[in-house]
Amino acid sequence: MNDTTVTLVGNVATAVEYRETVAGAVARFRFAVTARRWDRERVVWTDGPTSFYTVSAWRSLGANLAASVSVGEPLVVHGRLKVREDERDGQRKTFVDIDALAVGHDLTRGTSAFRRAARTETRPGAQAPPGAGEGDLTDREEGPGLVAADGKDPWTAAAHQLVTVP
């Protein structure tokens, strides 16, 4: 498929609206992107025009987004660009939407603490292990989890070794 993907950096302009639909859960919000440029003559940063996008995030991304994002927070949004035209009040209007594939806080403007979300449903045909849904990562959306018998995440352990080995 030849979708146009874009990555936008901006701020959450409206509260995240989360709802369950027949097609699955979706979160929607308006996203403001303002270009900033250095004005050499006045020796200051100046803001250019602001563009507004409607961002939609489906399924677990939408649920995690609704639980994590508030108005005014800086985000990086990566997704499929959708441009549509509609007639409202007798005038043709153009709307630009983003179907989000990934969303994260813009860490150039602050810090964020990441928490893994426990997956409550299992893949079709997969049998949930005992204790599943109690915060472990044994059956995540991306595939089977990699949790060692001692309950420690091997990716975190490997990253820790890379950082702490002289």
Could you tell me the pTM of the whole model?
A: 0.67
Residue 138 predicted with pLDDT over 60: no
Cα–Cα distance measured from residue 138 to residue 121, given in angstroms and rounded to the nearest whole number: 11
CA pair distance 144, 162, nearest whole angstrom: 24
Q: To the nearest whole number, what is the mean pLDDT of the chain?
A: 80
User: Does position 17 have pLDDT exceeding 80, yes or no?
Assistant: yes
Q: Is the pLDDT of residue 165 over 50?
A: no
Please count the residues of the chain.
166
Model pLDDT, residue 124: 55
Please report the pLDDT score of residue 140 as a whole number. 37
Q: At residue 9, does pLDDT exceed 60?
A: yes
pLDDT for position 34: 95
Say whether pLDDT at 143 is over 50. no
Please give the biggest Cα pair distance in the chain.
68
What does 76-144 look like in DSSP terms, one character per residue?
A: EEEEEEEEEEEEETTEEEEEEEEEEEEEEE-TTS------PPPP-S--TTPPPPTTTTSS--SEETTEE
Q: Which two tokens stand for residue 102?
A: 């990934």
Please write the tens of the pLDDT for every residue from 66-118. Answer: 999 999 999 999 999 999 999 988 999 999 999 999 999 999 999 998 888 77
For residue 121, pLDDT over 70 is answered with no
